[in-house]
Amino acid sequence: MRQKLAIKSLLLTAVIVGLSSCQVYTVSPESFKIQMLEYPVFTQLDSTDSLYLGPVYFYAYDMEYIFVKDKNGKSKFLQNNPTIEARIFDNSGRKTVFYFDTMELKNDTLTGIRSFLNPERNDVAIPYDSIQKIEIQNHKKKFYFVDEEF
């Protein structure tokens, strides 16, 4: 009985720590568009320390910071890294999740990489005028940018 209580207590603590460690930010579609248009050129970067694949090469925006708002409406600059995800909610309530630094805004259509492991999932284009809300979250996975010559 004592062991079950200890296990339940440990699991509850792990869940609370897990939920509190990933803060969600918001950015308005208008602000997001302005930030994306400031960095219209992709730079090839290396996302490394992937447990299953080794180095993963992809084209990404070389944006250093993202201007976001926290849950209290306070503005903040969030440092960009390969683990930041953007949740795009359209007018119908559908949610699409992209790696933030792989998104591209072209001809009023937003595209991006949803999965490095399953490229078939990446074939998504969202008309920009259908975007209702954007959430940004850093999952703090062990990916990081590395400057290398290709």
Q: Is residue 6 part of a domain?
A: no
pLDDT the model gives residue 29: 95
Number of domains in the chain: 1
pLDDT the model gives residue 25: 95
pLDDT the model gives residue 82: 76
Q: Is residue 116 part of a domain?
A: yes
CB atoms within 10 A of CB 150: 6
Phi, psi dihedrals of residue 15, rounded to the nearest 5°: -65, -45
Q: How far apart are CA 104 and CA 47, in angstroms?
A: 18
pLDDT the model gives residue 20: 46
Range of the domain at 81: 23-146
Average pLDDT, consecutive stretches of 10 residues, N- to C-terminus, the chain (150 residues)? 60 48 87 85 58 64 86 92 89 92 87 73 86 87 50
Q: Is residue 9 part of a domain?
A: no
Q: Is residue 61 part of a domain?
A: yes
pTM above 0.75, yes or no: no
**Residue given tokens 């209580």 in the structure block:** 5
pLDDT the model gives residue 131: 96
